[in-house]
Chain A
Amino acid sequence: MRKPSQLCTPVALAGLLCLGVAPAALGCGFHPAMEVQLESMYPGSLSVAVALRTAADNGLIDAAALEAPGTGTALYSDSVRRLQEFRNALAASPAAANLPASFSLGYVESHLWARYSQSDGEVRVDVHTDGPAEGEAVVLTGEPVLTAVLAGRLSVDRALAEGMILIDGEEKEKTAIRHALIVTSMANKISRR
């Protein structure tokens, strides 16, 4: 059974907790909360974070894009834009047909979650969600990794092998998501930043 380890909501105000939620909950990297907390976003996210830092140090990905984000910053805009570009790439790809009905993608450097879903042939992305739904497949990575993959500068298999991408779910879902990432990367439709 899988479910999100944190709820990220745009109404998480400094010093306020939402109803029925434990004191530690709420608040993602784009919505700083005052409550004292120390949390990981999903099992394995720390390992992904270490892999991202190592990749940045080795020049594989853009280190500047890993800075702690803040609401309204350029990094936030870039992050959202990249998620939407990934949606566009998926929508244009035949691989989308094999994807699960929905999966969640999370940036570990910001705890920003997005959900990709499709119905009636339409691929949709909802950015800034509360995290993966119960039983939903999950992709953990970082914005600069997604950028490099979509730009064709970083292979999906290398990113997976070096822990920059973690896919969690049923084997069939994992295979479909990996394949979709590879196909969209190969399509190389997104220009380099």
Chain B
Amino acid sequence: MKLKHLVLSVVLTAGFGQPVMAADTAKPATEATREANAAVLKELPFNDKQAFEDSKKGFIAPLENNGVVNNAKGDIVWDLPAFDFLSGNKPAPDTVNPSLWRQAQIMEHYTGLFKVTDHIYQVRGLDISNITFIEAPEGVIVMDPLVSAEVAKAGLDLYRKHRGNKPVVAVIHSHSHIDHYGGVKGVVSQEDIDAGKVKIYAPAGFTEAALNENVIGGNRQTRLSGYQYSQLVEPGPTGSVTSGLGLINSRGTITFAVPTNLITEPFQKETIAGLDFEFMLAPDTEAPAEMFFYIPEYKALSTAEDAVHTQHNVYSLRGAKVRSAYNWAMYLKLANDRWGDKAEVLYAPHHWPIWGKERISEHLTKQSAAYKYINDQSIRLANSGYDMVEAAEMIKLPEALQSNWGLRGYYGTTNHNVKAAIDKQFGWFNGNPATLHPLPRVEAARKYVDYMGGADAIVKKAQADYDKGNYRWVMQVLMQVVYADPSNMKARNLMADASEQLGYQTEAGTWRGWYMSAAKDLREGVKPMQVAVFASPDTVSAMPLELFFDYLSIRLNGPKAEGKTIKMNLDLPDTKDKYLLVVQYGVLQYHKDQQADDADVSLTMDRSTLNEIIGGKLKVEQGITDGTIKLDGDAKKFEEFVGLLDTFDPWYQVVMPIGTK
């Protein structure tokens, strides 16, 4: 009997366990790095302490338990003390860009419960994001309940300790990213939602966007998020220095609640718990589904994550779809036009608020201008024939924006945002046919190494460039040696050293994560670590069937499926859903409301049973034997289908050839 490896999985999103990189593998900063970081101190207005003042304004109480949160099993899911290296007023070490150090210090120093304005409170420092409590006549409205339920509950507990046990009657998800919804069940229960005691507000398209990003691209995003958020390396002066957007992601239980109330109109007024809100949709900006809102009575504006204290990502390097810098600028301008002369406070689910009409309007104007500049100048240069790498090298924000702390590239950078803007408008091809059909990485690398006189000659020259501080080029050229021969440890170690120095120099927490993680993989090889895969039952039950089928489709191994035809009926009696799934011509297609008389196999089960299967709580055989799944026809055909599905390697190589051991 032939082996059929029958494994399917859906990675909704994932977090990482404790990092395993030993800090003592890190090298000290080189002279070139020290000089580069010293230059930053002269370049930027470090005597401007406004952000420090804003961050501590309204402080009420510190985080409980010194900022450590455990789950029910006692595992630590949030560990603020891991960032103690940022405490105090220590100057940036040689191994950290002073601007990133400043940003990280602000985020580490000012944590706890804060009053934003009358009736609006925030808990900061419990996750990468903030949880906000808006007091309304009929109860409390929670905005963006963090990544996981345990930390969200800790935030609510802290708020209630100082503001009383008012009931949570609504949750607002400002957008479809997990750090803005994953902790929802830490502040409300599904029972209360079902009973109508709690309403969940979200922008149109929220559920689809939330699940699509993490399901279809889940494996890649999981792998690359480990790089982006420095989750493979320890926090510290030679490791992770926050993401720039927030400290890091919590590692608790991720939950999901299907919204009960969607904001669907461009501008929409709602009264929530007796409090009037003005919503404005801002689709395809920082997230596919995003919205701003203003509370007239409190003169409080939130532009969600579109105007925080960093330049954000027009393209998130972890692998999200490229966003529209044009939309981003436009919606911030509209928000400023609409509320800029009214709002007394601007608060966000990351970083710290801004108070006062003038400062708010200036902030929104500059933020809008930055994304507009990136969009317009990128396209201008592309229209002049420059490719994205050239344009990214050429474009710098105007000085008034460049020197603005809130637009520094801690999370997104002008460089990679320019590339994204060009990609959004023009796609990947630069027009030169030499780049149209190049040799793949390994084949090209072997040629380069051969043409350049062999690996030893390249490494020798690369060492000379390393000694001069030319780390970008060292990485670029050594990539060829490593791809030609990943067992060349001399090349790998030198490339790792260059990557590390770039990590020490970069202002972006995300880029630092990339460089430090690459250095780790190059030096040590890929070392799998525990990965928490979050597919809570409520997340699974919210997954549209079509999304599940789409996920199966991208798992189908086309070459293996070539020449095979498999027809499968799926009947879900409780939801009256019927689908015909057909494998043919190497693809999986699904047909709603269809069943084939000549299907190879027919599966009948309730949606709840399918949810249990997707959620890993029930095996197909178990469902068949206990009678919750009825399988008619040729069971072997179903096995054959499953055998055509790839199982993705969650630890695939990022900086070395695929398959390198």
Contacts and interface: CB of A to CB of B under 8 A. Distances in A.
10 contacts: A3-B3, A15-B533, A22-B648, A35-B9, A36-B616, A44-B639, A45-B621, A46-B620, A46-B636, A69-B622
Contacts of A1: 3
A5 B5 contact: yes
Contacts of B14: 23
Given A27-B616, A38-B8, A53-B625, A19 B533 contact: no
Interface in B190-233: 219, 222
Contact of B533 (A29, A36, A48, A68): A36
Interface string A97-136: 0000000000011110000000000000000000000000
Interface of A: 1-3, 5-6, 15-25, 27, 29, 32-41, 43-50, 52-53, 56, 63, 66-69, 108-111, 142, 168
B624 A2 contact: no
Given A27-B616, A36-B616, A38-B8, A22 B540 contact: no
Interface in B409-442: none
Contacts of B118: none
Contacts of B651: 20
Nearest to B526: A20
Contacts of A27: 616
* Interface SS, A side: loop
Given A44-B636, A46-B635, A52-B625, A5 B532 contact: no
B287 to A, nearest CB: 23
A1 to B, nearest CB: 6
A52 B4 CA distance: 21
Contact of B219 (A23, A47, A52): A23
B636 A5 contact: no
Nearest to B645: A38
B625 A109 contact: yes
A46 B639 contact: yes
B22 interface: no
Interface of B: 1-12, 14, 17, 219, 222, 253, 528-536, 540, 613-627, 631, 635-636, 638-639, 642, 647-651
B613 A38 contact: yes
Contact of A39 (B2, B6, B219, B650): B6
A40 B639 contact: yes
Given A46-B620, A49-B625, A53-B624, A34 B9 contact: no
B1 A44 contact: yes
A20 B639 contact: no
B626 A66 contact: yes
A29 B647 contact: no
Contacts of B11: 23, 35-36
A27 B535 CA distance: 14
B619 A29 contact: yes
A15 B532 contact: yes
Nearest to B648: A22
A108 B621 contact: yes
A36 B614 contact: yes
Nearest to B6: A40
Nearest to A1: B3
Nearest to B631: A50
A18 B530 contact: yes
Given A24-B647, A47-B635, A32 B625 contact: no
A25 B631 CA distance: 24
A49 B650 CA distance: 30
A111 B636 CA distance: 18
The 10 A-B residue pairs with the shortest CB-CB distance, nearest first, are: A24-B9, A40-B6, A38-B8, A36-B535, A49-B624, A49-B621, A46-B635, A36-B10, A109-B625, A37-B616
